[in-house]
Amino acid sequence: MKGGQAGWAFVAPALAVIGLFFLVPTMAALALSLTDFDIYALADLRNLRFVGFRNYAELLANPLFWQALGNTLYFVVVGVPISIAVSLAAALLLESRLARFRSFFRTALFAPVVTTLVAVAVIWRYLLHTHYGLLNYALGALGVSPVDWLGDPHWAMPAIILFAVWKNFGYNMLIFVAGLQTIPEDLYEAARMDGASALRRFWHVTLPALAPVLLLVSLLTVAGYLQLFAEPYVMTQGGPQQSTVSVLYFMFEQGFKWWNLGTASAVAFLLFVMILAVTLIQLAVARRRGAL
């Protein structure tokens, strides 16, 4: 029993921190989302009322919430596949037997991942500038007329996706590299013997072998991309015409700009439910494949 006491002594501090600063507030968030906590309640707690699911009902009737949801899904549905495709392509290049200076290239391609999001979002705001931005300059050389990337409601989200792909592709790339390294070389040899082209080898050997990793990576990326916030906060402030307001950005505005904490908590919970759904799918699929 001595070991038992020691065990608890080792885990108790960490569990206490997680419980106090994460579990308790999470429960509280659920409770808060059933109240009308607002600035009046902030001034005086007697102004707090229990409202049941009214916050949720009002959210579902709020066009801006739907727009935020739509924008976020746009970001996920377009951004995730592009992101993963770029990651996979980069990983294949790095793992190609023909590649030179691998460690240099690996570090270079991964560098954007470790950079500070706010700082690089600031950089990209200049790269995307309509008049002085390098991107429009480069496009101009190809005969494309200047695009008002962050000022045009149709282009703001694509611009943010481009930025997010740049920032994140290195992460999944490394996971793919690790996955590629586990594919036995003789599978490729056998395919080569059969006279399969590089494309066919990719299609029939690499992709099937990589499928579990690919699935895991896509679900992780979806969960991450659903939490879009800092990019619009720094680059567009939700504009133009609310075309880049994401669910989390909406929550931040509701919570910390207008101090509608009840509504904001309800938003946070709806986001949680979405992420939970994605994760449950992930677990179910992984279990079926015997990965867990």
Tell me, residue by residue from 233 to 272, as one string, x for binding to another protein by CB under 8 A and - for no binding: xx--x-xxx------x--xxx-xxxxx-x--xx--xx-xx
Regarding 188 and contact with another protein (CB under 8 A), the answer is no
Regarding 29 and contact with another protein (CB under 8 A), the answer is yes
Regarding 197 and contact with another protein (CB under 8 A), the answer is no
Give me the helices (H) in the chain, please.
2-18, 24-32, 39-43, 54-60, 63-95, 102-114, 117-127, 134-141, 153-181, 185-193, 198-201, 207-225, 230-235, 247-252, 261-288
Size of the site for another protein (CB under 8 A): 107
Regarding 228 and contact with another protein (CB under 8 A), the answer is no
Shortest CA distance to 210 belongs to which of 201, 221, 198, 197? 201
> Which of 76-84, 121-129, 183-191, 199-207 is the region at the interface with another protein (rule: CB under 8 A)?
121-129
> Which of 35-43, 73-81, 189-197, 200-208 is the region at the interface with another protein (rule: CB under 8 A)?
35-43
Regarding 22 and contact with another protein (CB under 8 A), the answer is yes
CB 102: neighbour CB atoms within 10 A?
13
Regarding 158 and contact with another protein (CB under 8 A), the answer is no
Shortest CA distance to 80 belongs to which of 190, 220, 257, 199? 220
Regarding 43 and contact with another protein (CB under 8 A), the answer is yes
Regarding 45 and contact with another protein (CB under 8 A), the answer is no
CA dist list (Å): 212 to 171, 180, 187:
17, 12, 17
The only residue of 2, 142, 145, 182 in contact with another protein, by rule CB under 8 A: 2
Regarding 288 and contact with another protein (CB under 8 A), the answer is no
Q: What's the closest the beta carbon of residue 193 comes to another protein, in angstroms?
A: 18
> Which of 73-81, 86-94, 184-192, 203-211 is the region at the interface with another protein (rule: CB under 8 A)?
86-94
The only residue of 60, 77, 123, 190 in contact with another protein, by rule CB under 8 A: 123
Instruction: Measure the CA–CA gap between 144 and 134, rounded to whole angstroms.
Output: 13
Shortest CA distance to 246 belongs to which of 52, 95, 76? 76
CA dist list (Å): 255 to 55, 58, 88, 222, 264:
13, 15, 38, 24, 5
Q: What's the closest the beta carbon of residue 75 comes to another protein, in angstroms?
A: 16
Find out whether 129 and 140 touch, Cβ atoms under 8 Å: no
